[in-house]
Structure 1
């Protein structure tokens, strides 16, 4: 199968270049462009292909008043512009994938191992977001830039990029609750302030139109994200692993990134606890935290584990490959949404886009 085979190639490439840091950085650019093309130029691939096609049709007749009043104005503005230029629907996938990968690249280049960081995103985040849930995929790209601003202690820019992300997918607004701890080192007083502001902030988000839509669709209904227990479960295990094994090591080796990572793992625990309330909301929130999870996994080789170093460094790759292999082979949902893989980089077929 193309997806599982590609994941194996990427992981083996990272393994083969384990001791060649310069080569890893060079191959990173080849891989990031390859994954962008793989994602952006897919044809009739992804669970939301037809859903976004219908949005594309709606955008043929929208005006600026509709865009301004919509919950995701940036996304609708992009669809409107694509229609105005008389471009075909799959161009929307190019636009959303570009936003996603630009954001991922900005965060990846800050990592000591950009290639390892990127390939760890492939099995879950890249397959599910820029290759299916493209609005949230674009929002995650912008949140990656916001995370970079958080690390640099630039709260105004952090808030700016979160707002831009919400213009693609309104769920990104939840990250505004981290604004009080984006101004400096993660401390207990700042965390207390963030928690205090989170109460009215969370109420505002939940009581607004978007919160009402999410509640009516996903809480107390039969709508479920059946893979959430595995995807969010891995996030929960990541948080547990961080607190039990590497928190102190991380503070010594990567003190600058400790704030965003520690806040991220708290979010992973919260996402896991949300599963009984709504697997869909838990899953949607969890996707935003996968870039932080990949940051943790990709930096494990740089931490001191002495005799167990190889085991700790290899374990994330094996875990993700195992889960991804089970998903691709056993999930009927995956078979329906992603197989066969088709690409239109050499030209669109002449038949209807949805047939």
Structure 2
């Protein structure tokens, strides 16, 4: 991670070279994520889903929760492909989506690198189902910027077919049309209800409540991630909002809504930091847009400190997490890949 940050620093002002290096880093991160082997906290959990899909009928997959995800697993079984290929598919969806949003940034390399310490490590390298949904929401965010309502709804629905929590973002559909009128705000509030009901209903929600609310379980790292989101949202609303409206009016509405959501997510920590954390992952691409565009905003005071703060802050959080978290040590170390061979161990291969 530190090498990525130093690389970005070394390429400062070299726009053409930054663009070329961006595609190399994008490809490298995809390979690093997609072809990992027994790496990630959810590796075994998704393997059992893969096994379960083999016993599932097509009708059961279509009428159940997250039908697109189960169809992907059924497709792997149908074509006699082994479980590790599910990580390749998920990573491909994630990075295609990330690229769809990154290419709209004035500094796509900075955007990509700043995603790595938290979002890339936790999503396509672990929670692959939500990782794929996050990538599709990046495409939805791009459609929101373009005021393409149908395209926004389409990508959000597809993301919901991978991870039902993404359905909450359907509430933004009326606002993708343009100005925030009272009617559109009311429509957004009404559209939030079905998404919340989907999240609140079913066995998955009951399991989440039992694990993360009623049991008293709290994720120490989750609280930090949610806190970083909340601070980022407050920073934008209190200091950057007018500057952003002047410099980037085309996507001001999306980032403004995202900043407000980041602050609201912080209020979920007393209830369950884990659930707040899960929803917060969807907002990290918008947070990263803020971080990556700081050099392009009119910052009157402490400009260099503000521009550098996200890099140093994320490096510190990642370093502390990697050194002190037993979960990180257990899930991500050692890093193994099957890109150049087939490791031994559990029988994940057909």
The 1:37/1:254 distance shift into structure 2, 3 A limit, reads same
Match of 1:90 among 84, 87, 106: 84
Match of 1:183 among 169, 173, 177: 177
Asked if structure 1 preserves the Cα contact closer than 8 Å seen for 2:133 and 2:159, the reply is yes
2:274 — aligned with what? 280
| DSSP-derived class of the 2:7 partner | helix
CA apart distance, 1:208: 2.9
Deviations 1:289-314 (A, max 9, x none): 00000000000000112452211111
Q: Does 2:30 match 1:36?
A: yes
| DSSP-derived class of the 2:214 partner | coil
| DSSP-derived class of the 1:158 partner | helix
Asked if structure 2 preserves the Cα contact closer than 8 Å seen for 1:177 and 1:201, the reply is no
| DSSP-derived class of the 1:131 partner | coil
Instruction: Work out the CA distance in 1 between the residues paired with 2:73 and 2:173.
Output: 30
After superposition, residues 46-57 of structure 1 pair within 5 angstroms as 46-57=40-51
| Segments ≥4 residues shifted beyond 6 Å | none
Asked if structure 2 preserves the Cα contact closer than 8 Å seen for 1:50 and 1:354, the reply is no
Match of 1:292 among 286, 289, 295: 286
After superposition, residues 206-225 of structure 1 pair within 5 angstroms as 206-209=199-202, 211-225=205-219
2:57 — aligned with what? 63
Match of 1:258 among 252, 260, 265: 252
Match of 1:205 among 185, 198, 201: 198
1:162 — aligned with what? 156
CA apart distance, 1:214: 3.8
Match of 2:20 among 14, 21, 26: 26
- Consecutive unaligned residues of structure 2, counting only runs of 5 or more, are none
| DSSP-derived class of the 1:88 partner | coil
Deviations 1:65-113 (A, max 9, x none): 1211220111111111111111111111000000000000100001000
1:3 — aligned with what? none
Instruction: Work out the CA distance in 1 between the residues paired with 2:180 and 2:149.
Output: 13
CA apart distance, 1:205: 3.0
TM-score by length of 1: 0.94
Q: CA RMSD in A?
A: 1.8
